[in-house]
Amino acid sequence: MMETRIALIGIIVENPDCVDILNRLLHENRQYIVGRMGIPYDKQHVSIISIVIDAPNDVISALAGRLGRLDGVNVKTVYSKNKG
């Protein structure tokens, strides 16, 4: 079995035009996603998404990198200290 880690990927979406691509990327990695919470914050015209993921390091890094390259999307990842 491959070693995995739990991570939290925090996403702030400032460009609503990229939501379809963002959702496609998350769907492609659905087998690793433990939970997802999305909050539309209309006052600031952004959406905030939290993704909890349990995956190998390279999968987490690749997903966060692909999300972060989307125009108008800011991404930060926090890793657990424990490896599974």
CATH of residue 47's domain is 3.30.70.1150
Q: Which amino acid is at 47?
A: S
Q: Is the pLDDT of residue 83 over 90?
A: no
Which residue range forms the structural domain that includes residue 38?
A: 5-83
Q: Give pLDDT tens digits for 17-62.
A: 999 999 999 999 999 999 999 999 999 999 999 999 999 999 999 9
Q: Is the pLDDT of residue 84 over 70?
A: no
Instruction: Work out the pLDDT band at 82, boundaries 50, 70, 90.
Output: confident
CB 2 within 8 A of CB 57: no
CB 7 within 8 A of CB 81: no
DSSP helix/strand/coil, 84: coil
Q: Structure pTM? A: 0.92
Structural domains in the chain (count):
1
Phi, psi of 72, rounded to the nearest 5 degrees? 80, 20
